[in-house]
Amino acid sequence: MESTSTLEHLDFQAQEVRDLNEATYVLRVDRHSLEFKAGQCVSVGVRGTGINREYSTYSGEQDPYVELLIREVKDGLVSSALRRCKPGESLSFMGAYGSFVLEKPEDSTRKYLFIGTGTGIAPFHSFVRSFPDIDYTILHGVRYLNERYDFEDYESGHYISCVTKEDGGDFKGRVTDYLRQTQVNPNHICYLCGNRLMLAEAFDLLREQGVPGDNLFTEVFF
Protein backbone atom coordinates (compact mmCIF):
# COMPACT_ATOMS: atom_id res chain seq x y z
CA MET A 1 0.00 0.00 0.00
CA GLU A 2 1.21 3.50 -0.80
CA SER A 3 2.43 5.15 2.40
CA THR A 4 0.34 7.91 3.96
CA SER A 5 3.29 10.31 3.89
CA THR A 6 3.61 9.87 0.11
CA LEU A 7 -0.11 10.24 -0.48
CA GLU A 8 -0.20 13.49 1.49
CA HIS A 9 1.80 15.12 -1.31
CA LEU A 10 -0.81 14.20 -3.94
CA ASP A 11 -3.64 16.56 -4.82
CA PHE A 12 -6.78 14.60 -4.08
CA GLN A 13 -9.67 16.38 -5.76
CA ALA A 14 -13.43 15.97 -5.67
CA GLN A 15 -14.80 14.57 -8.92
CA GLU A 16 -18.53 14.49 -8.24
CA VAL A 17 -21.19 14.72 -5.55
CA ARG A 18 -24.21 12.48 -6.21
CA ASP A 19 -27.24 13.15 -4.01
CA LEU A 20 -29.22 10.08 -2.88
CA ASN A 21 -31.81 11.91 -0.78
CA GLU A 22 -32.09 15.17 1.13
CA ALA A 23 -29.54 14.06 3.73
CA THR A 24 -27.23 11.55 2.07
CA TYR A 25 -24.84 11.66 -0.86
CA VAL A 26 -21.96 9.85 -2.53
CA LEU A 27 -18.66 11.74 -2.85
CA ARG A 28 -16.35 10.60 -5.63
CA VAL A 29 -12.66 11.47 -5.23
CA ASP A 30 -9.51 11.02 -7.33
CA ARG A 31 -7.82 7.74 -6.46
CA HIS A 32 -4.27 8.36 -7.70
CA SER A 33 -2.08 5.44 -6.55
CA LEU A 34 -4.11 4.71 -3.41
CA GLU A 35 -4.50 1.03 -2.63
CA PHE A 36 -7.18 -0.10 -0.21
CA LYS A 37 -9.02 -3.21 0.87
CA ALA A 38 -12.80 -3.16 0.57
CA GLY A 39 -14.27 -2.03 3.88
CA GLN A 40 -11.32 0.05 5.02
CA CYS A 41 -11.68 3.70 6.05
CA VAL A 42 -10.20 6.93 4.78
CA SER A 43 -10.00 10.32 6.47
CA VAL A 44 -11.33 13.20 4.37
CA GLY A 45 -11.93 16.93 4.73
CA VAL A 46 -11.84 20.13 2.73
CA ARG A 47 -8.23 21.18 2.37
CA GLY A 48 -7.26 24.12 4.57
CA THR A 49 -9.96 23.62 7.23
CA GLY A 50 -7.85 21.37 9.45
CA ILE A 51 -10.80 19.07 10.15
CA ASN A 52 -11.25 15.57 8.72
CA ARG A 53 -13.74 12.77 9.32
CA GLU A 54 -13.46 9.02 8.76
CA TYR A 55 -15.64 7.31 6.17
CA SER A 56 -15.70 3.72 4.93
CA THR A 57 -14.98 3.06 1.29
CA TYR A 58 -18.11 2.64 -0.83
CA SER A 59 -16.44 1.93 -4.17
CA GLY A 60 -14.74 -1.28 -5.22
CA GLU A 61 -11.07 -2.15 -5.07
CA GLN A 62 -10.81 -2.12 -8.88
CA ASP A 63 -12.61 1.18 -9.46
CA PRO A 64 -10.45 4.04 -10.81
CA TYR A 65 -11.84 6.39 -8.14
CA VAL A 66 -12.74 6.35 -4.44
CA GLU A 67 -16.38 6.78 -3.43
CA LEU A 68 -17.69 7.51 0.06
CA LEU A 69 -21.28 7.27 1.29
CA ILE A 70 -21.89 10.25 3.57
CA ARG A 71 -24.85 11.38 5.61
CA GLU A 72 -24.87 15.14 6.09
CA VAL A 73 -24.97 16.05 9.76
CA LYS A 74 -26.95 19.20 10.52
CA ASP A 75 -24.42 21.96 11.25
CA GLY A 76 -21.66 19.41 10.62
CA LEU A 77 -18.33 21.01 9.79
CA VAL A 78 -17.13 18.28 7.43
CA SER A 79 -20.16 16.50 5.96
CA SER A 80 -21.83 19.76 4.92
CA ALA A 81 -18.62 21.19 3.46
CA LEU A 82 -17.92 18.03 1.46
CA ARG A 83 -21.43 18.11 0.01
CA ARG A 84 -20.77 21.60 -1.34
CA CYS A 85 -17.54 20.52 -3.06
CA LYS A 86 -17.19 21.40 -6.71
CA PRO A 87 -15.37 19.18 -9.23
CA GLY A 88 -11.65 19.86 -8.95
CA GLU A 89 -11.77 21.14 -5.37
CA SER A 90 -8.77 19.98 -3.31
CA LEU A 91 -9.36 17.70 -0.34
CA SER A 92 -7.34 16.63 2.67
CA PHE A 93 -7.12 12.85 2.29
CA MET A 94 -5.43 10.18 4.42
CA GLY A 95 -5.65 6.40 4.54
CA ALA A 96 -6.63 3.74 3.89
CA TYR A 97 -6.68 1.81 7.16
CA GLY A 98 -8.78 -0.56 9.24
CA SER A 99 -9.34 -4.31 9.58
CA PHE A 100 -13.06 -4.56 8.72
CA VAL A 101 -12.28 -6.54 5.56
CA LEU A 102 -13.23 -9.89 4.07
CA GLU A 103 -11.01 -12.84 4.82
CA LYS A 104 -10.47 -15.24 1.90
CA PRO A 105 -13.15 -13.73 -0.40
CA GLU A 106 -11.94 -16.10 -3.10
CA ASP A 107 -13.25 -19.09 -1.06
CA SER A 108 -16.51 -19.99 -2.84
CA THR A 109 -17.69 -22.16 0.09
CA ARG A 110 -18.11 -19.15 2.38
CA LYS A 111 -21.55 -17.65 2.91
CA TYR A 112 -21.80 -14.11 4.24
CA LEU A 113 -24.47 -12.20 6.13
CA PHE A 114 -23.94 -8.45 6.10
CA ILE A 115 -26.01 -6.46 8.62
CA GLY A 116 -26.00 -2.68 8.52
CA THR A 117 -28.05 0.35 9.47
CA GLY A 118 -28.21 3.56 7.45
CA THR A 119 -24.86 4.48 5.89
CA GLY A 120 -23.38 1.49 7.70
CA ILE A 121 -24.08 -0.36 4.46
CA ALA A 122 -21.09 1.39 2.85
CA PRO A 123 -18.44 -1.31 3.43
CA PHE A 124 -20.85 -4.00 2.20
CA HIS A 125 -21.34 -2.12 -1.06
CA SER A 126 -17.56 -2.07 -1.36
CA PHE A 127 -17.39 -5.82 -0.60
CA VAL A 128 -19.93 -6.72 -3.27
CA ARG A 129 -18.46 -4.37 -5.86
CA SER A 130 -14.97 -5.75 -5.23
CA PHE A 131 -15.97 -9.43 -5.08
CA PRO A 132 -19.14 -9.91 -7.18
CA ASP A 133 -18.95 -13.70 -6.96
CA ILE A 134 -19.26 -13.98 -3.16
CA ASP A 135 -22.38 -15.64 -1.72
CA TYR A 136 -23.97 -12.90 0.40
CA THR A 137 -27.14 -11.56 1.92
CA ILE A 138 -27.44 -7.94 3.05
CA LEU A 139 -29.81 -7.05 5.88
CA HIS A 140 -30.22 -3.27 5.82
CA GLY A 141 -32.04 -1.32 8.52
CA VAL A 142 -33.48 2.07 7.53
CA ARG A 143 -36.32 4.37 8.53
CA TYR A 144 -37.60 5.33 5.09
CA LEU A 145 -37.62 3.78 1.63
CA ASN A 146 -35.37 6.49 0.18
CA GLU A 147 -32.62 5.35 2.55
CA ARG A 148 -32.18 2.06 0.68
CA TYR A 149 -29.05 3.48 -0.89
CA ASP A 150 -28.31 2.08 -4.38
CA PHE A 151 -30.18 -1.11 -3.50
CA GLU A 152 -30.48 -1.89 -7.21
CA ASP A 153 -26.71 -2.55 -7.23
CA TYR A 154 -27.26 -5.84 -5.42
CA GLU A 155 -28.39 -9.12 -6.93
CA SER A 156 -32.10 -9.85 -6.73
CA GLY A 157 -32.92 -11.65 -3.49
CA HIS A 158 -29.62 -10.75 -1.86
CA TYR A 159 -30.71 -7.41 -0.36
CA ILE A 160 -33.34 -7.29 2.41
CA SER A 161 -34.52 -3.87 3.55
CA CYS A 162 -35.92 -3.58 7.07
CA VAL A 163 -37.93 -0.34 7.07
CA THR A 164 -39.42 1.06 10.28
CA LYS A 165 -41.33 4.20 9.26
CA GLU A 166 -42.93 3.23 5.94
CA ASP A 167 -44.52 0.27 4.21
CA GLY A 168 -43.03 -1.07 1.00
CA GLY A 169 -39.74 -2.54 2.20
CA ASP A 170 -38.93 -6.23 2.38
CA PHE A 171 -39.64 -6.32 6.13
CA LYS A 172 -41.48 -3.89 8.40
CA GLY A 173 -39.37 -3.36 11.49
CA ARG A 174 -35.78 -3.25 12.66
CA VAL A 175 -33.03 -5.62 11.64
CA THR A 176 -33.10 -7.03 15.15
CA ASP A 177 -36.83 -7.77 14.75
CA TYR A 178 -36.00 -9.64 11.57
CA LEU A 179 -33.30 -11.65 13.34
CA ARG A 180 -35.73 -12.65 16.09
CA GLN A 181 -38.03 -14.13 13.46
CA THR A 182 -35.41 -15.68 11.19
CA GLN A 183 -32.94 -18.42 11.99
CA VAL A 184 -29.44 -17.64 10.75
CA ASN A 185 -27.24 -20.50 9.61
CA PRO A 186 -24.48 -20.74 12.26
CA ASN A 187 -21.95 -21.35 9.48
CA HIS A 188 -22.55 -17.92 7.95
CA ILE A 189 -19.80 -15.36 8.41
CA CYS A 190 -21.51 -12.24 9.75
CA TYR A 191 -20.33 -8.65 9.40
CA LEU A 192 -22.19 -5.96 11.36
CA CYS A 193 -21.80 -2.23 10.78
CA GLY A 194 -23.77 0.77 12.00
CA ASN A 195 -25.52 1.95 15.13
CA ARG A 196 -23.80 0.88 18.35
CA LEU A 197 -27.02 -0.28 20.02
CA MET A 198 -28.04 -2.34 16.98
CA LEU A 199 -24.62 -3.98 16.88
CA ALA A 200 -24.79 -5.06 20.50
CA GLU A 201 -28.33 -6.44 20.20
CA ALA A 202 -27.75 -8.17 16.85
CA PHE A 203 -24.48 -9.66 18.11
CA ASP A 204 -26.29 -11.21 21.09
CA LEU A 205 -29.12 -12.53 18.89
CA LEU A 206 -26.68 -14.19 16.52
CA ARG A 207 -24.77 -15.78 19.38
CA GLU A 208 -28.06 -17.11 20.78
CA GLN A 209 -28.72 -18.67 17.37
CA GLY A 210 -25.43 -20.51 17.54
CA VAL A 211 -23.20 -18.31 15.38
CA PRO A 212 -19.70 -18.68 16.88
CA GLY A 213 -17.81 -15.60 17.95
CA ASP A 214 -15.11 -16.33 15.35
CA ASN A 215 -17.73 -15.76 12.63
CA LEU A 216 -18.78 -12.31 13.90
CA PHE A 217 -17.09 -9.08 12.86
CA THR A 218 -18.28 -5.61 13.90
CA GLU A 219 -17.61 -2.00 12.95
CA VAL A 220 -19.23 0.83 14.95
CA PHE A 221 -20.32 3.61 12.57
CA PHE A 222 -22.08 5.93 15.00
Domains (range + CATH), the chain = 4-97 (2.40.30.10), 111-220 (3.40.50.80)
pLDDT band at residue 1 under the 50/70/90 scheme: very low
Mean pLDDT in the chain?
Answer: 94
pLDDT at 8: 56
pLDDT at 76: 86
With a cut of 60, say whether residue 2 has pLDDT above it: no
Residue 165: strand pairing partners: none
pTM of the model: 0.94
Q: Which strands make up the sheet holding 53-56, listed edge to edge?
A: 53-56, 41-46, 90-97, 12-19, 24-30, 65-71
Q: Report the 10 Å Cβ neighbour count for 137.
A: 18
Q: Average pLDDT for residues 149-158, to the nearest whole number?
A: 97
pLDDT at 9: 54
